[in-house]
Amino acid sequence: MTELISDSVSNELTADTPIMAFAQLQLAAPLARAVAEMGYESMTPIQAQAIPVVLQGRDVMGAAQTGTGKTAAFALPLMQRMLKHENASTSPARHPVRALVLLPTRELADQVADNIKMYGQYTNLRSTVVFGGIDMKPQTLELKKGVEVLVATPGRLLDHIEAKNCVLNQVEYVVLDEADRMLDIGFLPDLQRILSFLPKQRTTLLFSATFSPEIKRLANSYLQDPVTIEVARSNATASTVEQHFYSVEGDDKRHALHQILKDRGIKQAFVFVNSKLGCARLARSLEREGLKTTALHGDKSQDERLKALESFKSGEVDLLVATDVAARGLDIKDVPAVFNFDIPFHAEDYVHRIGRTGRAGQSGLAVTFVSKSDLRLVTEIEKLLKTKVVLEPVEFEEDLPDIRKQGRINDGRRLYQPDHVSAPRADKREFARAEPRHSRPADPFFEKPYEPSLSPETAPAWEVSAVKPGSRNISSNIKTKRKVAALFARA
Ligand code: AMP
């Protein structure tokens, strides 16, 4: 029989989140200290529901995604229960693997392992992570020293099991994290093999974004009398995110991206595309055009992916061009802006993508480029958000008459109209330009080699770049519109 606990509040930390302080949990001092130092005060919904259940030793089937505080929801109670085994011995035998956390991708494994290290920093519990794509030797050394918490991707874990680098016969807790994705990727046989090495008597926690029939089958086979915890997935977008949909075609999208970044004075942004190939190409083009850009997609080597993430997190690069799959679950939040360079195929991905910005009360900007062939996808987003989308034209600086250049552009309001044209209705989906911009001659700029900007450390490339991508015959006396951005008080 399955018990169901459900919560209909948003899965993000919002004003609606029930306030339940970590202090009420009576976590052991070393864990409480780590949590306090990490700045956690109240629990997220998944934590408030899962932690007491895991502390009781029950199996859990949790519907929650990365970004909901799920890692602490399982790691803190597991570690609390494991503290009875804690010891400072240097003998590997005294540190057998007691908790195994399985994740589908290297990035997620790395991220979860980082968090677990932080939660356990004041305990004697050891943790490590193993994933493919990098040398096995350093991982082997860590495993041989003995670890209580092992975070792993299935393929690499099997390699280590076969090489007898780790023994799993003392595992008490297993977490199948992002289980739906593990099945999508085809890890079911690997999971079955791994689970066959574990003691039957154990606690199993399964987390998945959806409870598909396959996930239910997996749960039926491996979970015992689980408590089901559902934290409703929010399809609402945060009110702190300013959303714009611009009608723009083909190559003009890059030009529009440059202009909006500059007009708005945006320091860092996520740029979403729909394909791996498109991702690599766009990142290369933007880099050539002087923007500090990195790409994140499935074809990148492990090293490249970790470097891409690090360089974005450290602020070394300004733009992270990513596919949905590569970006899903990554712990990068509070990005000032998100661009949907390609409108997502699934409306739900729109919500996830723009959820990267405008978090925790910060204001954020979400820009979606819409070409004529994308209208059906716009309708899907409208249906999901239950809001009418207003398509706006991009006003390119160099196309405006001089008087207008000193005014506002791309701020969501259509201020300028030539005298003979009446203002278009904002609620009408119309592509404002009679002449598609991509039919104009290609800009020789794109043929030029990349020239680094003058002071890359001090400002985003679009603010210091001497060249203007896609600008045609721009007179040298047109000043950059950095100042214009400052005028854009949000409506
Ligand atoms: P996760 O879903 O576990 O990947 O967590 C997403 C992010 O939320 C991570 O950066 C965590 O450090 C952070 N986080 C988790 N729980 C809390 C909390 N109760 N309060 C504040 N931040 C949290």
Cα 60 to middle of ligand 1, angstroms: 19
pLDDT at residue 89 tops 60: yes
Q: How many CA atoms lie within 13 A of 333 on its CB side?
A: 15
Q: Tokens 């590569």, residue?
A: 326
Greater confidence, 448 or 307? 307
Neighbouring CB atoms inside 10 A of 297's CB total 22
**Superfamily (CATH H level) for 241-417:** P-loop containing nucleotide triphosphate hydrolases (3.40.50.300)
- Look at ligand 1, atom 13, and give the residue with the nearest C-alpha: 69
Give CA–CA dist 6/3, Å, rounded: 10
Angle, to 10 degrees, between the axis of helix 188-196 and the axis of helix 213-222? 10
Pick the closest to residue 127 from 34, 38, 47, 26 (CA basis). Answer: 34
In this prediction, residue 329 carries a pLDDT of: 66
Cα 288 to middle of ligand 1, angstroms: 36
- Look at ligand 1, atom 5, and give the residue with the nearest C-alpha: 69
Highest mean predicted confidence (pLDDT) among 25-34, 248-257, 447-456: 25-34
Cα 69 to middle of ligand 1, angstroms: 4
Atom of ligand 1 nearest to the CA of 112: 4
Which CATH entry fits the domain spanning 3-230: 3.10.129.10, 3.40.50.300, 3.30.70.20, 3.90.650.10?
3.40.50.300
Contact 161, 197 (CB under 8 A): yes
pLDDT at residue 436 tops 90: no
pLDDT at residue 448 tops 60: no
Cα 308 to middle of ligand 1, angstroms: 22
| Mean pLDDT of the 466-477 span | 36
pLDDT at residue 338 tops 70: yes
Across the chain, which distance is largest between two alpha carbons, in Å?
Answer: 84
Judging by DSSP bridges, how do beta strands 364-370 and 337-340 pair with one another? parallel
Give CA–CA dist 163/130, Å, rounded: 13
In this prediction, residue 441 carries a pLDDT of: 36
Give CA–CA dist 232/211, Å, rounded: 12
pLDDT at residue 422 tops 70: no
Contact 152, 143 (CB under 8 A): no
| Mean pLDDT of the 431-448 span | 34
Cα 127 to middle of ligand 1, angstroms: 19
- Classify residue 166 by its DSSP letter: -
Name the CA dihedral angle for 285, 290, 296, 297, rounded to a multiple of 10 degrees: 10
pLDDT at residue 449 tops 70: no
Cα 66 to middle of ligand 1, angstroms: 9
In this prediction, residue 217 carries a pLDDT of: 93
- Look at ligand 1, atom 6, and give the residue with the nearest C-alpha: 67
- Look at ligand 1, atom 11, and give the residue with the nearest C-alpha: 69
Report pLDDT digits (tens) over 246-262.
999 888 999 999 999 98
Substitution site in 11, 115, 233, 333 for ligand 1 pocket (most atoms within 8 Å of beta carbon) = 115
In this prediction, residue 67 carries a pLDDT of: 72
- Mapped onto helix, strand or coil, the DSSP state of residue 201 is coil
Pick the closest to residue 237 from 357, 345, 146 (CA basis). Answer: 357
Ranges of CATH 3.40.50.300 domains, the chain: 3-230, 241-417
Residue type, 12: E
Atom of ligand 1 nearest to the CA of 65: 2
- Mean of the per-residue pLDDT values of the chain: 78
Cα 362 to middle of ligand 1, angstroms: 17
Residue type, 155: G
**448 phi and psi, to 5 degrees?**
-75, 150
In this prediction, residue 359 carries a pLDDT of: 63
Any residues with Cβ below 6 Å from ligand 1, and which?
40, 43-44, 47, 66-72, 115, 331
In this prediction, residue 377 carries a pLDDT of: 94
Q: What single string gives the DSSP state of each residue in 80-133?
A: HHHGGG------GGGS---EEEE-SSHHHHHHHHHHHHHHTTTSS--EEEE-SS
pLDDT at residue 427 tops 50: no
Q: What single string gives the DSSP state of each residue in 238-304?
A: PTTEEEEEEE--TTHHHHHHHHHHHHHT---EEEEES-HHHHHHHHHHHHHTT--EEEE-TTS-HHH
* Cα of 416 vs its chain's centroid, Å: 37
